[in-house]
Amino acid sequence: MDTFIAQAKYLRVSPKKIRVLVAAIKKMRLTEALTVLSHHREKGSKYLEKVILSSIANARSQHNLTKENLFIKDIILTQGPVFKRMLPVARGTGHQYKKRTCHLKVVLAQIKSVTSKKAAEKEMKIEN
């Protein structure tokens, strides 16, 4: 089975904030997932949507597939480097705060040729 991968590294969003979105769309079809992400207000939803659209473009350029023939096989979210910054406070001291980053990887897979929508959804559940 062909898989199509797209990734974004060093995103300036905490992985904790994107994990909520990933859990919401992980088992969805692509059209539903893109609709859900376009209606979210979080900064991470725009990043996630861009990476999904990039992996769809990879599938289209490599094998002429449309998004109706694809599903989200896996979304891998890992923590990136942490930028440590200081905020000056009283008496010449400083409080440290962290600017977290993350790496995002989306893996799409092709739905095998099936005739009905129910059979396609069943196949998606078996592969996951």
User: pTM value?
Assistant: 0.82
The partner residues of 104 in beta bridges, in order of sequence, read 8, 77
CB atoms within 10 A of CB 62: 10
| pLDDT for position 37 | 93
The partner residues of 83 in beta bridges, in order of sequence, read 99
Specify the CATH class of 3-111 in words: alpha beta
Walk across the sheet containing 94-110 and list its strands. Answer: 3-11, 94-110, 70-88
- The pLDDT-based confidence of 116 (bands split at 50, 70, 90) is low
- The pLDDT-based confidence of 2 (bands split at 50, 70, 90) is confident
